[in-house]
Amino acid sequence: MPNAEKDRAIENAQRIIDILSYYDTAFTMHKAFSGDFSVGNISFYPNHSEAVAHSDMVIAVGGDGTIIHMAKHAAEYDKPILGVNCGRIGFVANLEPSQLNLLPKLLVGDYNIDKRMLLEVEIAQSGEHETLFALNDVTVTRGSLSTMVELDVMLNGEFINSYRADGVILATPTGSTAYSLSAGGPVIEPHMNCILLTPICPHSLFSRSVLFSDDSEVCIRPHDGYSKEIYATIDGIRSFRINKDDSITVKRSHQTVRFIKLTNKNFYRILSDKLNERRQ
User: In this structure, which long-range contacts are made by residues 142-149, counting pairs with CB atoms below 8 Å and at least 24 apart in sequence?
Assistant: 142/166, 142/167, 142/228, 142/229, 142/230, 142/231, 143/228, 143/229, 143/230, 143/231, 144/229, 145/229, 146/228, 146/229, 146/230, 147/228, 148/201, 148/203, 149/222, 149/226, 149/228, 149/230
Q: List, in order, residues 6 or more apart from 226 with CB less than 8 Å away.
A: 149, 150, 151, 244
Three-state DSSP at 252 gives: strand
Pair 242, 121: CB distance under 8 Å: no
Nearest to 236 by CA among 118, 92, 65, 89: 65
Q: Give the active site residue among 64, 166, 235, 246.
A: 64
Three-state DSSP at 31 gives: helix
C-alpha–C-alpha distance, residues 176 and 258, integer Å: 18
C-alpha–C-alpha distance, residues 113 and 257, integer Å: 9
Q: Is 64 a catalytic residue?
A: yes
User: What amino acid positions are annotated as catalytic residues?
Assistant: 64
